Structure 1
């Protein structure tokens, strides 16, 4: 099982394929398994990198509290270890917020960004309550209930559910709670204009709550493309074919642009 030692923890990661690198960032409680369709299909053309955030899945418990800057630095350490100078960074849900933080902290390490159902801040009551519930349920007594609900919500088949649930069950409730808690208060909206990397924004037509976040990002990021797919929030697993197509188109387009510069 490939593991990378980082200060205060250890990361489980996977690499599949060759070509332009793409690294994926998952939300709280879930794991890199959430990108199983991207790992399988995009790796036919690209070098796909997935990893479990500290205290999630097969990555060990972190003595350091989970914060976005910590996760970003772990990503940079992983890229360094793999000999990857630059990559496309892709984040799903709160993973999209981490992607934005990455582009702000290490713009020279990114070829571009892909935000899937993500946000630059949590501003509406519904989402605040939802993440607050994640904080509340992230304890030894109730984490299994939360794991069941989140895994079901992101599953299209029983087989995928079993895999998501099994891998998420390895996580440590303390680190999962820290991830939820940091997500609740993160806000980089005022800094979006400082991101010069090209960014693909992918949102679900049925994910009404997140449309306001889609339009915030679309209005403030200097170089972005906004795409809506016919799905709810859980696009990586439930609209994988269309998502993979959009990612492929975006990378092909900007790979050509980068080669001309």
Structure 2
């Protein structure tokens, strides 16, 4: 059973190193770097969710995979929703980890705006340090995430942040008929409102709060959920 994973801005497929090692024993795990991130080269066309979804379709076609489970972490969870809306015939279902269908609270808007402003040649090292540090549970993980993030192109990274800030598919969630698993950290209070929006609007979903986990921990500890 194939599962394709989607990372948030600046981070790369190395975000899912644990999932690749753990779940590949039972599933076909597919990870990739979004355009202008990690080992994927810079692209002149602006990075948007629809473009990422089409790249995912091309990737599945190349691998000769007709359907897969679509899994995304943070803003990658928004791309899961976009994929299920645009190409429902290519998915078995979705897994949203600390994800959202829109950005509506001031704190998250501020964080995304700060990331956008820091996405330039002078300040990207600082942004890279802060983002990778916040997503690492050990010094080894931090070094691995930071190495991958440093390979990205600042323009495409900024474009991904920009699209994430404006994206809103809340009014279309009722159209998604696939089963969707929603995973959130119990301590990630800021995102609980987004969990509730998805839980109330997706016709077929299961909401799970992971005990003692924050935003990034809910991605690291998915082995706790069966």
TM-score by length of 1: 0.85
Partner SS for 2:11: coil
Partner SS for 1:24: strand
RMSD: 0.8
Partner Cα distance (1:29, 1:128) in 2: 17
Partner SS for 1:48: strand
Structure 1 partner of 2:126:
145
How far has the Cα of 1:63 moved from its partner? 1.1
Structure 1 partner of 2:164:
183
TM-score by length of 2: 0.98
Partner SS for 1:168: helix
Structure 2 partner of 1:244:
223
- Superposed CA deviations along residues 126-164 of structure 1, whole A, max 9, x for unmatched, are 000000111000010000100011111111111111000
Structure 2 partner of 1:235:
217
Partner SS for 1:219: helix
Matched, 1:27 2:14: no
Structure 1 residue ranges without an equivalent (≥5): 1-19, 250-261
Structure 2 partner of 1:213:
194
Matched, 1:96 2:96: no
- Superposed CA deviations along residues 71-130 of structure 1, whole A, max 9, x for unmatched, are 000000000000100000000000000110000000010011000000000000000000
Between Structure 1 and Structure 2, how many residues are aligned?
225
Partner Cα distance (2:218, 2:130) in 1: 17
1:86 is aligned, of 53, 61, 67, to 67
2:22 is aligned, of 10, 32, 41, to 41
* Aligned residues of 1:21 and 1:47 also touching (Cα < 8 A): yes
CA separation of 1:170 and 1:72: change in aligned 2, threshold 3 A: same
Partner SS for 1:218: helix
Partner Cα distance (1:152, 1:21) in 2: 30
Structure 2 partner of 1:73:
54
Off by >4 Å, runs of 4+ in structure 1: none
Structure 2 residue ranges without an equivalent (≥5): none
Partner Cα distance (1:140, 1:236) in 2: 31
How far has the Cα of 1:192 moved from its partner? 0.1
Partner SS for 1:197: coil
* Aligned residues of 1:116 and 1:235 also touching (Cα < 8 A): no
Partner Cα distance (1:81, 1:245) in 2: 32
Partner SS for 2:30: strand
Structure 2 partner of 1:109:
90
